[in-house]
Amino acid sequence: MTRALAALIVASAVAGGALVASGGGARAQAPATASRIGFIDIQRVLVRSAAGVAAREQLEKEKASMQKEMDGRRQELEKLREELDKKGALMSPDARREREDAIERKRRDATRLADDFQRELGRKEQQLIVKVRQELQGVIDKVGKQKGYYMILDGRNAGVVFWTPEADLTDEIIRAYDQESATKGKK
């Protein structure tokens, strides 16, 4: 949904109408019941919910493991360079060149590994975000229906520029999501 369309829907709903699709396009029509609009900050849910925190902790553990491996490779390279600096003058030119080539290969391998780790972390982060967002959608739907909301917007992506604190459902969604996650964890 584009920001312009979201703004049009919000403006229509705030004016007391609902956007209804008809053969000739969209037209405003008064709803049968009073409508309520709320918004959430999905980013804040990802940061503060128990599932979001657990996902970040899991990523941090994997990142630490990858960092440990990279540190080991870095130390190995430093050791090889120091050894070459100390013994290089005593080596034959061919032996020195072979040692330099080996060090350069290890450096390239370490660089590739670091790039692979970065891509892997990015991929895993995206997977975790998608998983949390999918779970979150069910919670948002449930809360929206229970509380009689006509519409709940993602405050950041819908271009919401003004809201009252009562319209911010983020903390309520976090509580409901944490409660649902805890219930699933006990089963």
What confidence score (pLDDT) does residue 187 get? 60
Residues 107 and 132 in one domain: yes
- Range of 61's domain? 36-186
CATH of the domain at 51: 3.30.910.20
What confidence score (pLDDT) does residue 165 get? 82
- CA distance linking residue 97 with residue 56, whole number of Å: 45
pLDDT over 70, % of the chain: 80
Structure tokens, 46:
């990802």
Residues 12 and 81 in one domain: no
pLDDT tens per residue across span 4-61 = 444 434 444 444 433 333 333 333 443 444 468 888 988 899 899 998 898 889 999 9
Tokens 């229970």 sit on residue: 146
Q: What is the mean pLDDT of residues 78-103?
A: 90
**How many domains does the chain divide into?**
2
Cα–Cα distances (Å) from 125 to 46, 59, 112, 115, 144, in that order, read: 11, 7, 20, 15, 27
Q: What is the mean pLDDT of residues 74-87?
A: 91
- Residue 176: DSSP 8-state: H
Report yes or no: 33 and 22 within 8 Å, Cβ to Cβ: no
What confidence score (pLDDT) does residue 46 get? 87
Residues 48 and 74 in one domain: yes
pLDDT tens per residue across span 123-143 = 999 998 888 889 999 999 999
Residues 29 and 49 in one domain: no
Residue 73 has pLDDT above 60, yes or no: yes
Q: What is the mean pLDDT of residues 51-80?
A: 93
Residues 91 and 135 in one domain: yes
What confidence score (pLDDT) does residue 35 get? 61
Residues 116 and 151 in one domain: yes
Residues 17 and 65 in one domain: no
**Of 125, 87, 119, which is closest to residue 103 (Cα–Cα)?**
87
Please tell me the pTM assigned to this model: 0.63
Residues 21 and 105 in one domain: no
